[in-house]
């Protein structure tokens, strides 16, 4: 069942603002799920004031029809479809299509798009040499961002996308090539020969083949691993206006091409408060496993504001309840690990940390629950993915969301360059001092 789509938020009763003795009326709009926003588009022009919202916790930067989250109820839907419905049937590629083009693909669309992904999987041979320019120790996220930006040098014809057909060409190239770039970044970091994509393999097995096959032995992807990996990519595919997606939109708002905008998204994702948290979670669990600190001590440190320690994989700007992605990944981890004989002591430590935190008033009062990064690392590790590739896998998953948002923004009538303002707190008018007169 599909609710009728209303691309414009509905105007409802306006808000009244009283400021310096004057009354103003501010329009209020309502989205399709009832969430309301005060439209301050004319605020500065009419009052001379701006709003101040550090970290944008109360600011809607756009309207969007891609993903809906109700953080209090733990709801996440892609194009209206609850995330829980993606557990068994669709592939990551179907979900990518859904996010980008707004509907589930027909059989022909799916086949054609899959064929495009196969055709475009190779990267230009000269790009291969660029990997050699990076030191072995280069973090794969740095290589990934640089190489996605470099793709814009090879696809000058896709800098401006006129219609959905051109979007499809660009999206298929990016979604396919990010996988090859990720695998090559990994191979380079290990000093291993690059493995070409295999046209006979599907999206996930092909990625793992390029990462793990050797000239003398072909990696064969177990079905359970393919399914779990597919789900990880799907659960990361979009999350509305998070830091990296907002970055992609911001860069794109200047008219920058899709490749350059997504490269910026990779950089934003890298940080430990965002996608890099999956690495930080593993570091935390390892520290506890090695006996450097007990779970109880770690939680105590995370509560201590002077310690600079946070319980990684916990808390979320939007979810004030369970992150539904974390719950789904926890279930998969519990099922998968025994089946692929990867019993991992870190899973027990994660369970213990969760138990302590969820019964601690500090976490309960602040509504801090496990987020998607808490269990994804354990799963990736069980599948043999090295820790420094975790955030790269997140980026592969998030790419369809970035593309969908970049396109939605470029198609929104009346779009403007994203350019926040500030409240200046620096020096008043100050004279320049020549060097010899400076103290
Ligand atoms: N451990 C300990 N205290 C925390 C944590 C945590 N993980 N997260 C939030 N708090 C505290 C915070 O110190 C603050 O306390 P107080 O009210 O006493 O000052 C309160 O909870 C509210 O936190 P906040 O920093 O205002 O929340 P935020 O919305 O700005 O930040 C967050 C959200 C995800 C960055 C943060 O919860 C965090 O740093 N978590 C750990 C890193 C992490 O797991 N990141 C992955 C996020 S989900 C996937 C993604 O986006 O990529």
CA of 313 to the centre of ligand 1 (A): 9
369 Cα–ligand 1 center, Å: 10
Tell the residue nearest (CA) to atom 31 of ligand 1.
317
Query: What pLDDT is stored for residue 344 in this prediction?
Result: 84
pLDDT at 8: 75
Q: What is the mean pLDDT of each run of 10 residues along the chain (439 residues)?
A: 59 94 96 95 96 96 97 96 91 97 97 97 93 94 97 95 96 98 96 95 97 94 94 97 98 98 98 94 95 94 94 94 92 87 85 94 95 91 93 98 98 93 98 96
d(CA 159, CA 56): 30
Please work out whether the CB of residue 300 comes within 6 Å of at least one atom of ligand 1: no
- pLDDT of 9 reads 82
The answer, yes or no, to whether any atom of ligand 1 lies below 6 A from the CB of 317, is yes
Q: H or E segment at 374? A: helix 372-382
Nearest ligand 1 atom to the CA of 57 is 29
Q: pTM for the complete prediction? A: 0.94
Q: Which of 209, 236, 316, 405 is catalytic?
A: 316
For residue 128, the surrounding DSSP H or E stretch is: helix 125-132
316 is an active site residue: yes
* 37 alpha carbon – ligand 1 mean position (Å): 24
- Mutation probe of ligand 1 site: the residue of 277, 285, 315, 329 with most atoms within 8 A of C-beta: 315
Position 4 scores a pLDDT of 46
316 lines ligand 1 (CB under 6 A): yes
Ligand 1 pocket, 324 CB below 6 A? no
CB distance 353 to ligand 1 below 6 Å:
no
The answer to whether 66 and 79 are in contact (CB under 8 A) is yes
Per-residue CA distances from 234 to 20, 260, 372 (Å): 50, 23, 12
Instruction: From residue 167, give the alpha-carbon distance in Å to each of 44, 77, 97, 430.
Output: 36, 23, 11, 50
Residue of the CA atom closest to atom 2 of ligand 1:
310
- State how far the Cα of 398 lies from the Cα of 34, in Å rounded to an integer: 26
Q: Which pLDDT does position 95 carry in this prediction?
A: 97
Nearest partner of 199 among 122, 86, 143, judged by Cα = 122
Instruction: Return phi, psi of residue 43, to 5°.
Output: -60, -50
Report how far residue 396's alpha carbon sits from residue 281's, in angstroms, rounded to the nearest whole number: 19
């Amino acid at each position: 069942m599909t609710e009728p789509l209303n691309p414009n938020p509905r105007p409802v009763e306006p808000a009244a603002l009283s400021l310096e003795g004057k009354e103003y009326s501010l329009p209020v709009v309502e989205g399709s799920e009832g969430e309301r926003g005060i439209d301050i588009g004319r605020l500065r022009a009419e009052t001379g004031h701006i709003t101040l919202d550090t970290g944008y916790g109360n600011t809607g930067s756009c309207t969007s029809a891609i993903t809906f989250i109700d953080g209090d109820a733990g709801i996440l839907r892609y194009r209206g479809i609850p995330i829980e419905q993606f557990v068994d049937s669709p592939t990551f590629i179907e979900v990518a299509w859904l996010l980008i083009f707004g509907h589930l693909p027909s059989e022909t669309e799916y086949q054609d798009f899959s064929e495009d992904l196969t055709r475009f999987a190779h990267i230009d041979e000269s790009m291969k040499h660029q990997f050699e320019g990076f030191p072995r120790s280069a973090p794969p996220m740095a290589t990934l961002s640089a190489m996605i930006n470099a793709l814009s040098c090879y696809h000058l014809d896709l800098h401006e996308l006129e219609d959905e057909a051109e979007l499809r060409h660009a999206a298929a190239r990016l979604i396919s090539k990010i996988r090859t770039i990720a695998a090559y970044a990994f191979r380079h970091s290990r000093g291993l020969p690059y493995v070409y994509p295999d046209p006979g393999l599907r999206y996930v097995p092909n990625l793992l083949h390029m990462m793990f096959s050797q000239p003398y032995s072909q990696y064969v992807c177990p079905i359970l691993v393919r399914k779990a990996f597919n789900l990880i990519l799907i659960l990361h595919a979009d999350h509305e206006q998070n830091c990296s997606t907002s970055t992609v939109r911001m860069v794109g708002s200047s008219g920058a091409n899709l490749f350059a905008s997504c490269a910026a998204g990779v950089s934003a994702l890298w940080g430990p408060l965002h996608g890099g948290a999956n690495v930080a979670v593993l570091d935390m669990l390892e520290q506890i496993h090695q006996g450097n600190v007990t779970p109880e001590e770690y939680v105590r440190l995370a509560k201590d504001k002077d310690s600079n320690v946070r319980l990684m994989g916990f808390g979320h700007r939007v979810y004030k309840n369970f992150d539904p992605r974390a719950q789904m990944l926890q279930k998969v981890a519990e099922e998968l690990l025994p089946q692929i004989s990867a019993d991992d002591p870190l899973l027990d430590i994660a369970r213990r940390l969760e138990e302590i935190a969820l019964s601690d008033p500090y976490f309960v009062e602040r509504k801090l629950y496990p987020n998607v990064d808490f269990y994804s690392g354990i799963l990736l590790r069980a599948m043999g993915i090295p820790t420094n590739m975790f955030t790269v896998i997140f980026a592969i998953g998030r790419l369809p969301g970035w593309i969908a948002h970049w396109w939605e923004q470029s198609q929104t009538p009346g779009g403007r360059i994203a350019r926040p303002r500030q409240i200046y707190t620096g020096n008043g008018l100050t004279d320049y001092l020549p060097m010899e007169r400076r103290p």
